[in-house]
Structure 1
Amino acid sequence: MAGESMRDEMIEARRPPNAHRGVLKWLQRNLFNGPINSVVSVVTLGVLVWALWPFVQWALIQADWLGDSRQACSGEGACWVFISARFESIIYGFYPEAARWRVDIVFALMAGLLAWLAIPKVPGKRWAAIIAVIGFPIAAYVLLLGGHFGLMHVSTRNWGGLMLTLTVATIGIVGSLPIGIVLALGRRSKMPLVRAVSVVFIEFWRGVPLITVLFMASVMLPLFVPTEVEFDKLLRALVGIMLFWSAYMAEVVRGGLQAIPGGQEEAGKALGLNYWQRMGLIVLPQALKLVIPGIVNTFIALFKDTSLVLIIGLFDLLAIIRAGLTDSDWLGFATEGYVFAALVFWVFCFSMSRYSQYIEKRLQTGHTN
């Protein structure tokens, strides 16, 4: 039987499968794969070109890029000379020029750690996490604030620009997630007092605007501490932002916890695991995987809301640009400043969004077969 099933002649050559590669193949498959789709694509592209072409002309074709004063701008297009002339203050704020190398080191360390954690093929993720949680905050504190190891002390009053925006966003994100997880667990607790405290905390912070929270952190918080204790203005803002967004994070995490079947925790009980072991090893990993989009959405909202620190006298990226617009040498270039600020915020927010989608696909969050 085995011999009868064997072929004794060569199989005829077959045509290769269609390779859907290249720009033309992508356009044909996605935009022009039928009469109706082709018409809709042409009309949509025409409307986009008609609407965006004036902006492209203003921002790129007729723009002025080189120079150090407004005399270098012709007035026909965007004057990006304003951004290039004030680029250092946009990045560092009022940080002393002689000490800006310390900020550069912190930026480099942050970029290196993010790449270490984000790129799957790079080994040593556990060490990267330990360094990111313990080592990096200590190094950043020593370098940015100074006053140790012979480094000049730089008050947080001189912090500003993109450096301040990233500081507030990073600490807010890192602080709000664990607090939100604890609050979510507390709201589902079977202990009445713990559940009541968690519910009151979450509903209180979700019921007030962030602007009010920042005002309270700046004005009211010092009234509740001893007079000899001095709270830095930046520290007050960080505390307010972490507490505010931890309440929203708690509800996101609670949604993930409620999506996990009760049998998961019961199985942990059957194995003899205590509460924290069941949560840490069984329930929370599944819940957090389910709510990755909600967590990243909260992170993006937090990042954008860092611009509100202006109301308590902190000059973040947007505030530094607005301060530059009050300079008599640069009056009339508000559009360029706001477009640049919007572009920076969009780059960071879009990067977080895309990375979250990559994590979802990697972890198969959708549970599709």
Structure 2
Amino acid sequence: MAFLVTGAAGFIGHHVASRLLARGERVIGIDNLNPYYAVSLKRDRLADLTARFGDAFRFVGTDFTDEVALETAVAGAEIEGIVHLGAQAGVRHSLEDPRAYVRANVMGHLNLLELARARRPRHMVYASSSSVYGGNARLPFSVADRADNPVSLYAATKRADELMSESYAHLYRLPLTGLRFFTVYGPWGRPDMAIWIFTSAILAGRPIRVSNGGRVQRDFTYIDDIVAGVIACLDSPPPDDGAPKPGGSQAPHRIYNVGNHRAEPLDEVIALIERSCGRSAIREAVPLPPGDVAATFADIETIRADHGYQPTTTIAEGVPRFVDWFRAYHGV
């Protein structure tokens, strides 16, 4: 028996695979090594997993938007559970290459649902996003809030994933859980995310672009806390008992926020990065980009009540850890 992790060469996928492997599971990781950001970083994540866990980790380079290739990748494997984290990421890039988002996030998600329907794993957990809340002005964001006014195509595709999952859970009684992640950061992170961009620029003496005069808030969530939420949900499939689930479903389908339950002002986060780097930032003021929102803030009461989820890493602890990793990884 093995767990299938899509996006295994990605940031969250690498850490989730690592946590499963560390507790003695076997993992099949699939990823198409999309060049949206440096493929070398993705290969380094895979090399890290192979070096630490050997044959317990099997990587298959394939594109899950191709249903035949996906079936070939898992042929002969007994799949205990699926953690579907692979996607075309990035709010801003969805304005430039919208078709990539529909292929990966809509068609790709459908292929994983079909795989789950055929293989009947114990549970499939999939990545959604806090972006589905759009311009919601009610803070903190609750899974009970409406999520039908996306302000980016990326958000629209993630909401589509949730709706398709609800349909499959209802029709085929598949146990499914969608997780709305809030601004994830930490070691092995993504180069297109703010904390990486700011750290890289500050250490190199380049200007950083600060949106909306710094009047931006994000629920920055450390990677270890994200993984704890993923694994807690994976280990507890929703029962098919007809009772309402988080997100409103009466099928075996739950939706949770996974965040830090704090809205951190961007100015304070930049100050933390400056202290961790030992250098001051050169700031360049820019407007809030299209598709971005002014604030995110996760209400995590439902996942806390159901799974005991409690984030433990503050931004004051997490930022220095990331900067230390960044320096080591790049030899700075």
TM-score (norm 1): 0.25
Q: Hey, which of these two has a bigger chunk of helix by percent?
A: 1
Q: Hey, which of these two has a bigger chunk of strand by percent?
A: 2
Whichever of the two has the greater Rg, that structure is 1
